[in-house]
Amino acid sequence: MKFSHTIFALPFALIGFFISLPKVLNSNGGKATMQVILQPQILWKLLLVLICMVTARSAAMAFNRYLDRHFDAKNPRTAVREIPAGILSAESALVFVLINCLLFITATYFINSICFFLSPVALLVILFYSFTKRFTPLCHIVLGVGLSLAPIGAYLAVTGVFALLPLLFSFTVVFWVSGFDIIYALQDEEFDRSNQLYSIPTAMGKKNALHVSELLHLVSSACIIGAGIVGSFHWLYWLGVLVFVGMLIYQHRLVKPNDLSKVNIAFMTANGIASVVFGAIVIMALFLQYGW
């Protein structure tokens, strides 16, 4: 597993956290100044959100490596991974999963009751993804749903209630992640088909799979624009939208059905930039909008 993969959803978790602050701080009769934001209880909650984000993602990725170890050993692209290569044992990977699950649940206990009671549901969703490639080509959507828990989860951590705005960011993540996971899965189309594994590329072929990915990214773009309208953000937010949508367009220009040589650039570089830059700009826009 790669810790760097956490950057896909982490900026959206931070967005969920920061868009919740005006609601909570203003409801308590105080202006959300930088001095208020830096109070120990706010920073403590931010730390707990980060712990939840990292441990949940680590558990999900390690469990995926554990469950797929036999397929990884047969696939030339993945045979160098730690478990099939014999660097790590399957048992140690499973212990790592359990430790991260326990840390995740423990962190939610110190956040609030709704996060604690929903923590098993969140773990079920993110761990369940690892099974889906065995029976449905919609596995990409399930992965997107798992990562989409980041913004709404962070918002719940602060407010304890659901709201439309963080849900729009969650839907942005669902369709964005689903779309780029389809692009990533193009590399294994032949292997997956020969091993009775399911994906959009094996079900529809490379060309049609890319069209589905484009459609999902179009919906993701619509969600992120909708979030901007609902949130009435500072104009800087729209600069972030341009970067995010631009990176979606860029990755589709990189990958062609007959040329997968730039899949990793599209998967990691373009999406990493989309997430990190967008997240940074949105948080900056919030600071300017509320005078923090």
Phi, psi (degrees; rounded to nearest 5) at 256: -125, 155
Q: What is the pLDDT of residue 7?
A: 79
Provide the mean pLDDT of the chain: 92
Smallest Cα–Cα separation from 189: which of 198, 181, 180, 176? Answer: 198
Q: Report how far residue 141's alpha carbon sits from residue 145's, in angstroms, rounded to the nearest whole number.
A: 6
- pLDDT above 80: residue 204: yes
Give the CATH H-level superfamily of domain 3-290.
UbiA prenyltransferase (1.10.357.140)
**With bands split at pLDDT 50, 70 and 90, how would you rate the model's confidence at 291?**
confident
What is the DSSP code (8-state) at residue 259?
Answer: B
Position 23, amino acid? K
Task: Reply yes or no on whether the pLDDT at 37 is more than 90.
Answer: no
**CA–CA distance, 210 with 216 (Å, rounded to integer):** 10
- What percent of the chain has pLDDT above 70? 93
How many Cα atoms occupy the beta-carbon half-sphere of 237 within 13 Å? 20
The CA distance from 235 to 160, in Å, is 28
CA-CA-CA-CA torsion sign (176, 180, 185, 186):
positive
pLDDT digits (tens, 9 = 90+) for 99-145: 999 999 999 999 999 999 999 999 999 999 999 999 999 999 999 99
Cα angle 265, 245, 77; round to 5: 25
Give the domain ranges of the chain.
3-290
With a cut of 80, say whether residue 25 has pLDDT above it: no
Number of neighbouring beta carbons within 10 Å of residue 152: 22
DSSP-derived 3-state class of residue 292: coil
286: closest CA among 5, 78, 26, 20?
Answer: 20
| The predicted structure's pLDDT at residue 266 | 83
Q: Is the pLDDT of residue 39 over 80?
A: no
Torsion of CA 52, 55, 58, 62, to 10 degrees: -130
| Distance separating alpha carbons of residues 123 and 101, to the nearest angstrom | 7
Residue 265 clears pLDDT 90, i.e. is over it = no
pLDDT(41) > 70: yes
